[in-house]
Chain A
Amino acid sequence: MGGIDLADVRVSFQVAATATLVSIIIGIPLAWALARINFPGKALATSLAVVPLALPPTVVGYYLLRILGHNGPIGQMLERLGWEIVFTWQGAAIAAAVVACPLVIITAQAGFAQVDMELERVAATLGRFPLSIFRTVTLPLAMRSIAAGIVLAFARAMGEFGATLMVAGAIPGKTRTMSIAVYELVQAGESAKANATALALLGISLASIALFISLTSFTRR
């Protein structure tokens, strides 16, 4: 009694880490494209990529359920392959990723946009091809912003409540994250456990924000 349920901690980190990884894989190339490529409908694409930030998480969860659930287009497809997303930790991770990814996109896009394109042009005249230029010039110079975005995304995924609950429920040891546990523990009157879990989440959030501030507050030059 009184301690944190380690299963909740494990699920939280599993969900948040996976969501962060997905956000990185999807968010960084998308952020680069939004910062560097002009295409028709760019404003719309940007809005769509970022809209989960502004939506209530339960609404995000609701639409994910419609898409990934038994009757949803992707849900049915995956079910035929023998994979059920709803009420699994992977489902929770997807929900958390949808909410967290915009934070990577916004910060990384700003990071890419502030890299002087003249540097990339000069790199081309010095014999380097686009992928090499991205690796040696663009990415290192945008790295601080990208890292800040990743930290924010992780913090957001850790704290995600509404969307994950809608998609994955709160199965202890399976899909119940720490943030959901706090709610349930308070409901059940287990104030000591609730207290400890809330305190742990507070610590993680503070650490994340401290890291975020140190990444963004002083810049090169």
Chain B
Amino acid sequence: MTLGLEAQIFLHLGSFQLKAHLQVGNELATLFGPSGAGKSLTLRAIAGLVRPHAGRIVLGSHVLFDSQKGINIPPQRRQVGYVPQGYALFPHLTVEENIMYPLHHLPRAERRKQAAALMEMTGLRGLEKRKPHQLSGGQQQRVALARALAAKPRILLLDEPFSALDRALRQELGQEIYRLQRQWDIPVIMVTHDFSDAFGLSQRVIVMEQGEVLQEGSREEVFYQPRNRRVAQMVAMGNIWPALVEEVAADFVYLRWHSHRLQANAPKDTHLKPGQKVDACVRPVHVMIRRPEDEFYSRPNLLKGYIISEAMDIDSYTLIVALEGGGEVLVQLHSHAYFRLGLPHRKEIEISIYPHHIHIIPYEP
């Protein structure tokens, strides 16, 4: 039994080539990548609004598209809920009429009943007679969701669902989408170019760039174990150091970066050889700062340095530490820790990194 969506899409538009292969179960997935990556095009291909030149799209037990067998189900018959960027609400129809739009085959009383239930569920009660332009961005988003759900979709595709909303509303609607996914138990794919939207709620992250899927996996996999330098940059890895493999032991790898010898966990699936060039990735929050009174405690990868720059963000500080013996390290820590460690007055520090927090990826020149 196949559940969820499996799609292989080959499509070219002018000089742009889309080669997307994705698998999404009954879960919340995020298609993440910069604009022009082909994310929206992928959604449209799944919805049947553009026809791939080759490939296969299967939703549950339904084949929506198969170039070899000549199958191309029209969008009307796909039961794909598609919410484009900007929501595309019908401006001449009221909220209620928008939501009833896919229910035209039902008697009026039944249409109203179903629309009322959906409006109740999405918190739109009392707005039945409003026109879309009389609604806030968040309300418009909810109407678009309710309208898509009214058609009883087998998958929900949301293109940049939060792009027009402020931070607080993003979180609220994000939770709502998460809840809806749980309730309907269908695949939900959100497209976003915003890194902060991508990881919060989705169980699965698909990273795309220039028409190709760079990495597909759980949010933790993508976030902590990016496959290559580009993905590492996209998930704001912060520290990507070109290093040399010095020694390979059973569980550990020893790396040379500037004059420092770093102990890292050996990567599971790649076999490293001494003398090999690699990139070592460390998330800025995984760099610890040693307390002055911590004299007798032995710390892994202990390095001395000097804070050369400090930037404050919401509830956190980002520091740049120049190391003795070369190299700079990006360190992020909670404001609370910044003060506890006495950093407002202390710029000479020692940092430490756990071996399992050093992620090794292939070196790219």
Binding site for B on A (CB under 8 A): 116, 118-119, 121-129, 132, 136-137, 140-141, 220-221
Q: Which residues of A contact B74 (CB under 8 A)?
A: 124
Least CB separation from B101: chain A residue: A126
Q: How far is the CB of B118 from chain A (nearest CB, A)?
A: 13
Q: Which residues of A contact B91 (CB under 8 A)?
A: 141, 220-221
Report whether A140 and B49 are in contact in the complex, using a CB–CB cutoff of 8 Å. Answer: no
Report whether B76 and A124 are in contact in the complex, using a CB–CB cutoff of 8 Å. Answer: yes
How many Å lie between the Cα of A132 and that of B147 in the bound state? 17
How many Å lie between the Cα of A128 and that of B91 in the bound state? 17
Known: A118-B86, A129-B76, A220-B133. A124 touches B92 (CB 8 A): no
In the complex, identify which listed stretch (B77-85, B109-117, B178-186, B292-300) lies at the interface while the others stay far away.
B77-85
Q: Which residues of B contact A122 (CB under 8 A)?
A: 82-84, 88
Residue B151 CB within 8 A of the other chain: yes
How many Å lie between the Cα of A125 and that of B150 in the bound state? 12
Q: How far is the CB of A87 from chain B (nearest CB, A)?
A: 46
Q: Which residues of A contact B148 (CB under 8 A)?
A: 125-126
Residue B346 CB within 8 A of the other chain: no
Least CB separation from A118: chain B residue: B88
Report whether A125 and B81 are in contact in the complex, using a CB–CB cutoff of 8 Å. Answer: yes
How many Å lie between the Cα of A119 and that of B93 in the bound state? 12
Shortest 3 CB-CB contacts between residues of A and residues of B? A126-B102, A125-B82, A124-B75
Binding site for A on B (CB under 8 A): 44, 47-49, 74-78, 80-84, 86, 88, 90-92, 101-102, 104-105, 133, 147-148, 150-151
Report whether B80 and A220 are in contact in the complex, using a CB–CB cutoff of 8 Å. Answer: no
Q: Which residues of B contact A116 (CB under 8 A)?
A: 88
Report whether A118 and B84 are in contact in the complex, using a CB–CB cutoff of 8 Å. Answer: yes
For the A-B complex with A121-B88, A125-B148 known, give 12 more contacts whose Cβ atoms are closer than 8 Å.
A118-B86, A121-B84, A123-B101, A124-B48, A125-B76, A125-B78, A125-B82, A127-B151, A136-B101, A137-B90, A140-B92, A220-B91
How many Å lie between the Cα of A129 and that of B102 in the bound state? 11
Q: Which residues of A contact B86 (CB under 8 A)?
A: 118
Q: Which residues of A contact B104 (CB under 8 A)?
A: 127-128, 132
Report whether A221 and B49 are in contact in the complex, using a CB–CB cutoff of 8 Å. Answer: no
Report whether A141 and B82 are in contact in the complex, using a CB–CB cutoff of 8 Å. Answer: no
Known: A121-B75, A220-B133. A126 touches B147 (CB 8 A): yes
Least CB separation from B157: chain A residue: A125
How many Å lie between the Cα of A123 and that of B74 in the bound state? 12
How many Å lie between the Cα of A128 and that of B76 in the bound state? 6
Report whether B75 and A125 are in contact in the complex, using a CB–CB cutoff of 8 Å. Answer: yes
Q: How far is the CB of B89 from chain A (nearest CB, A)?
A: 8
How many Å lie between the Cα of A118 and that of B147 in the bound state? 15
Q: Please indicate which of the listed interface residues B44, B76, B102 has the most CB atoms of chain A within 10 Å of its own CB.
A: B76
How many Å lie between the Cα of A126 and that of B153 in the bound state? 9
How many Å lie between the Cα of A132 and that of B104 in the bound state? 10
How many Å lie between the Cα of A35 and that of B93 in the bound state? 23
**12 A-B residue pairs with CB within 8 Å:** A118-B88, A121-B49, A121-B88, A122-B84, A122-B88, A123-B101, A125-B81, A125-B82, A126-B151, A136-B101, A137-B90, A141-B92
Q: Which residues of B contact A128 (CB under 8 A)?
A: 76, 101-102, 104
